[in-house]
Structure 1
Amino acid sequence: MKIAILVSHFPPKWIAGTEIATYNITKHLAKRGHEVHVITRYSKELQRLEESDSLYIHRVCYLDFPILRFFTHLFFSFVEIFKIRKDLSVIHGQMVSPCGLLAMIAGKYLQKPSITYVRGSDVYKATKLFKITIGEFVLRNSDVVIALTGDMKREIQKIYGREVFVIPNGIDLEKFNNLSKENVRKKLKIANEEEIIVFVGTLRSVKGIKYLIEAMKIIIQKNIDTRLMLVGDGEDRESLEKHVKELDLEKYVSFVGKVPNEKVPEYMVASDVFVLPSVSEGFPVTILEAMASGLPIVATKVGGLPEIIKDGENGFLVEPKNPKGIAQRVMLILEDDNLSGRISRNNRECVKKYSWGSVIERLEEVYKS
């Protein structure tokens, strides 16, 4: 099949959740013999067109002004789709806007099937105005709508009353198979006796990191050799660093900063507990990475997380904005080796159903339907 996949940003310039997932989708589709064209925004340090085997990355220009950015991105992306229209099988947009909107419009114009893949924030954080305008237009008129989770599917059906497929994120399990905790701790200069709590993601308010930091104030009263590693960067880093100082936690909280995506497994494997304290969430790849690392998980009861984490089986769920709840579950895991060992084994087994091979097979079925 010849497939166009539209995404606002694409690695290596951007490495947030949607961008990483899109990279993996395109890579695995190309490996399976499909001709894949990614259409994304141009960045001056990158080439306008890259080609590797059956994967083509088209980076389009846009005017970087608030209103013009949206419309020029749509226009030049449409021009690029028009150039590759011959034998095109499907036009796939990542997120409702702008890429789902563009996929739907281009599909109607070129008489090609269009797919909108809803990723989370385009449902959970969308304003009422967005839902009754762009959301209404795109999700009612796309030929196919895919959601990351069952919770997203139910939300879309409640508002728009249409059929929705569910296809989750996937993970490359091979990245985690040959990593030794002892070796990566030595490489990262982490003492063996330290108990490491890790968060991996963008440092912004929706991730609820403030509440995890406040949980550390409770945890260190009982577990003095515990440290929190915050792996990632973002707009809230400065305010979070200030919060750490206010709570006198500089010795117990480390801001690692942004690391290359291929290095994330090392930080996971070196740790003892993964915490995702999000206020709002879709289906984060970091949860799958933690599971593949065999980490016990403490996460909030938001978005698609309860579909992945079964309370007491492969982790624990707490209410959002609940430092005490986070602290209690983390301490329970750290203090009970039998419990943490059982959860670790369950996660390594559970994550197998999220291999990229399984996910891509499901996506191919939707493309052909």
Structure 2
Amino acid sequence: MNNIKTKPIAYLTGEYPRATDTFIQREVAALRALGLPVLTCSVRRTGPEHLVCEEQKSEAAATFYVLSAARPLRLLLSHLSSFLIHPTRYLSALWLAIKTSPGGIRSFLFQLFYFAEAGVLSTYMRKNEVRHLHNHIAKSSCTVAMLASEMSGIPYSFTLHGPDIFFEPEHWRLDEKIARARFVVCISHFCRSQAMVFSHPRYWHKLHIVHCGVYLDRYANTENPMGHNLLFVGRLAPVKGLPILLRALGALVDSFPNIHLSIIGDGPSRVALERQVQSAKLEKHVSFAGYKSQNEVAKALVKADLFVLPSFAEGVPVVLMEAMAASRPVVASRIAGIPELVTHGSSGLLVPPGDPDALTCAIAKVIGNPSRATAMGISGRAQVETAFNLKTEAKRLKTLLDEAGQ
């Protein structure tokens, strides 16, 4: 392969594909549709609960899994070949792993694990003539990407989402990752501002805003919201604020006796949430559906009258884009990048996070006024068409990847 642009890009995440990160899968598909060869790599295999459709099973079968490949002999040969090919780079990557350790024996051992994984990934990329490495989620898998880049000489970039990495940027050495990356994709202005806080101004030119996006035709919907069916889609974890939504639901039952909340997703909080539902006697008003495929989520959005996301911390939730693309009104927390997606009073209502009274009031305002709900849905669809169209955003990302891999 003599033409550099015919050589592939490697895409790395901690786990791929996941039912909770379908936006990465869609982004890969969009880049491939633009003619960019993409090899998907993942540190770990996902559990079978994440492979909810044939598309994800196919992606899993074609993905290179670092830990699965890191058997003792292969691990040893990978590191030996990397050392023999370029000993200076190899030792530089080892020193980088040591100097970016956040401190403590446990963290130091993890850095050595990341270094070991980087050796396996470097060999894979070299054998497949990868010209550029891109990482999603800037935590441990990005550490592996940074070390593999140093070891192999293959440039890397990453997509910065947040919010959790902004809670401990020093631990994950966000400053070093930004300094060494060819470019950094920030999913929102808020995200970029946080990256600017934790990096030197000389690197701010590397920070580019490229939104996550959705395929608009998948969520085409002409039905108007007329009932009291609420929908939540996401991981069942404390950060999503679902106990607040259940409290709001309990306060709405008397005024809206037919109100129903469908919860799509799973996670560590499920048992506690089911107990809360039972304790509040809301069993007839709440259903837990578990993980669903992208097509099943799209069908659920058609049936919903309002999408609710009461999170305590977010980036710019793709599931909100999906709801708006389906012309559903939304109620969400006023945090991080969400106001860049949802215009309060136009495409939805924004409420203070953790405030059940405000959430109750906002939900009542939407489902109690069908004409307003319809107008919000139309406005939301237009917003997504303008700024969160996956095809448009993928072209921007492809341009950055092409320039970085030259």
* Length-normalised TM-score, structure 1: 0.86
Indicate the residue corresponding to 1:16 in structure 2: 20
Indicate the residue corresponding to 2:361 in structure 1: 328
Of 313-322 and 153-162, more deviation after overlay is shown by 153-162
Indicate the residue corresponding to 1:82 in structure 2: 123
Indicate the residue corresponding to 2:246 in structure 1: 213
SS of match in other structure, 1:8? strand
- Paired residues for 1:238-249 under 5 Å: 238-249=271-282
May I ask how many residue pairs the two structures share in their alignment?
347
Task: Give the Cα separation in 1 of the matches to 2:57 and 2:243.
Answer: 42
Task: Give the Cα separation in 1 of the matches to 2:272 and 2:111.
Answer: 30
- Paired residues for 1:196-345 under 5 Å: 196-345=229-378
Query: Any conservation in 1 of the 2:229–2:305 contact (CA below 8 Å)?
Result: yes
Cα shift readout 1:90-131 (whole Å, capped 9, x = no counterpart): 11111222222222222233333210211213433x326415
Task: Give the Cα separation in 1 of the matches to 2:131 and 2:323.
Answer: 36
Task: Give the Cα separation in 2 of the matches to 1:269 and 1:309.
Answer: 19
SS of match in other structure, 2:171? helix
Which residue type is aligned with residue 100 of structure 1?
Answer: C
Task: Give the Cα separation in 1 of the matches to 2:44 and 2:149.
Answer: 23
Indicate the residue corresponding to 1:159 in structure 2: 198
The unaligned stretches of length 5 or more in structure 1 are: 183-191
The unaligned stretches of length 5 or more in structure 2 are: 49-55, 72-105
Indicate the residue corresponding to 2:138 in structure 1: 96
Which residue type is aligned with residue 82 of structure 1?
Answer: T
Task: Give the Cα separation in 2 of the matches to 1:193 and 1:314.
Answer: 16
CA separation of 1:128/1:92 partners in 2, compared to 1, >3 Å: closer, same or farther? Answer: closer
2:159 alignment partner, one of 117, 125, 129: 117
Task: Give the Cα separation in 2 of the matches to 1:340 and 1:77.
Answer: 50
CA separation of 1:116/1:45 partners in 2, compared to 1, >3 Å: closer, same or farther? Answer: closer
Query: Any conservation in 1 of the 2:118–2:147 contact (CA below 8 Å)?
Result: no
Task: Give the Cα separation in 2 of the matches to 1:261 and 1:167.
Answer: 22
For the pair 1:135 / 2:174, whether they are aligned, the reply is yes
Which residue type is aligned with residue 266 of structure 1?
Answer: K
Task: Give the Cα separation in 2 of the matches to 1:154 and 1:45.
Answer: 34
Cα shift readout 1:1-33 (whole Å, capped 9, x = no counterpart): 32011111112xx2113xx12211211212222
Query: Any conservation in 2 of the 1:169–1:359 contact (CA below 8 Å)?
Result: yes
Q: CA deviation at 1:272?
A: 0.3
SS of match in other structure, 2:139? helix
Q: CA deviation at 1:181?
A: 5.3
Query: Any conservation in 2 of the 1:117–1:145 contact (CA below 8 Å)?
Result: yes
Q: CA deviation at 1:180?
A: 6.9
Indicate the residue corresponding to 2:91 in structure 1: none
CA separation of 1:140/1:361 partners in 2, compared to 1, >3 Å: closer, same or farther? Answer: same
For the pair 1:358 / 2:392, whether they are aligned, the reply is yes
Q: CA deviation at 1:232?
A: 1.0
Task: Give the Cα separation in 1 of the matches to 2:192 and 2:14.
Answer: 22
Cα shift readout 1:170-205 (whole Å, capped 9, x = no counterpart): 11122123x6759xxxxxxxxx98520110111110
Q: CA deviation at 1:251?
A: 1.6
Query: Any conservation in 1 of the 2:253–2:259 contact (CA below 8 Å)?
Result: yes
SS of match in other structure, 2:379? helix
CA separation of 1:5/1:260 partners in 2, compared to 1, >3 Å: closer, same or farther? Answer: same
SS of match in other structure, 1:348? helix
CA separation of 1:77/1:341 partners in 2, compared to 1, >3 Å: closer, same or farther? Answer: same
For the pair 1:144 / 2:183, whether they are aligned, the reply is yes
Q: CA deviation at 1:314?
A: 0.4
CA separation of 1:23/1:44 partners in 2, compared to 1, >3 Å: closer, same or farther? Answer: closer
Aligned-CA RMSD value:
2.8
Q: CA deviation at 1:298?
A: 0.4
Task: Give the Cα separation in 1 of the matches to 2:46 and 2:245.
Answer: 37
For the pair 1:173 / 2:216, whether they are aligned, the reply is yes
Q: CA deviation at 1:325?
A: 0.8
Which residue type is aligned with residue 249 of structure 1?
Answer: L
Bigger radius of gyration, 1 or 2? Answer: 2
Query: Any conservation in 2 of the 1:36–1:56 contact (CA below 8 Å)?
Result: no
